Amino acid sequence: YYEVLLHLFGAKLEAQDDSNLLALFQKLVLLTPGFLPISEIEEPIFGIPHAPNACLQFLRYLRSKGDTVHARKVYRTVIFESSLGNIFNEFDEDMMVTFVEEAVALEQDSSGKKADKRNALVRLLEEASKLFEDTELGRKYQERLREVKLAGPPTNEGALFLEDTTMGTGGSANLLNEKFNKFQVVFLRRDCSGAINRTPIDFGGLFDGLTDEDKASWCIETPGRHQDENVAPVEFLGPSMPAQRGYCSFLVQKDESAYRNTLDRLPLQNPLSGIHWHYPSSALWLFVGRNPLGNLNLRGRPEHTDSITNDGTWHFQYSGQKTWFL
């Protein structure tokens, strides 16, 4: 019965059928503590392998519809009003972090009064600090909590973000420099749909044609996996979805012809026209993720600090989805 509920919940999400979705969610919430430890459905018919994933997908679904009221009900039920937060965290910490961040983003994007938004964020970050207590994650949530209490709620409309409509003017270079000098990172909202080359890049063929120096840059970025594992780059980068699940990278740097040809295939060669970037040497760093288990998050690079000697780097998402924590 419990497994059938998960299948039914996934079917309704896939069909965007809202009827009885909240009632199904409440049934899953009530029943899950009686079905521990959490087990995963090996071949979920509609992409919901277990209750943590069901709650995450439901929260995302409600956010995508702009249904803030019911989205709040979902995250508050999991984090504030039940033991599910701890249960889900023990099962899959990464997924629980993603759930918390979805809830934080919901409150940051909400259109309510500033005081209400701040109070909601404070309570949410307080619970997150307790949920991940005595861990590095817990300490980070405590730091974010202090920042919210001191400065008010963060917002996605701050000076860190630049809209596409502000670019292309004579002052764009000054505006970029002003924001970059303050934050050391700038997010530019830009619609590149009209510029994207619809022909997919053959990453496998590209890698196969590189010089040995560039091929030596092949790196398995997924935490817990090692360079000596049998992951053939050309197979991993091929057009068909392989069985491997991972996140890998390589450089196109030493081969000038391959560098130019690859750059010409990108939708953007320079994110801001009229601004010239200085690089001691030209390079493209390509990251490719393969995730046959599309409903389960795939970890990227572990947290790190880059050391660079040029003007900076700019990043373009060619396809798929990726969540960055900066």
- Output the CA torsion 90→141→323→121 (10° steps): 110
Alpha helices in the chain (DSSP H): 2-15, 21-31, 51-65, 68-79, 84-91, 93-109, 114-131, 136-151, 172-183, 203-208, 212-215, 233-236, 256-265
- Sequence-distant (6+) residues with CB within 8 A of 8 are 24
Mean pLDDT over residues 130-140, rounded? 88
pLDDT for 228:
45
pLDDT in tens, 76-130: 999 988 888 889 988 999 889 999 999 999 988 888 777 788 888 989 999 999 9
pTM tops 0.95, yes or no: no
pLDDT in tens, 310-324: 667 777 777 777 887
**pLDDT, average across residues 273-300:** 75
Helix axes of 93-109 and 84-91: crossing angle, nearest 10 degrees:
130
Query: Which residue type sits at 102?
Result: E
- CB burial string 106-115: b at 16+ within 10 A, e below: bbeebeeeee
- Residue 278 has what pLDDT? 63
Residue 259 pLDDT greater than 80, yes or no: yes
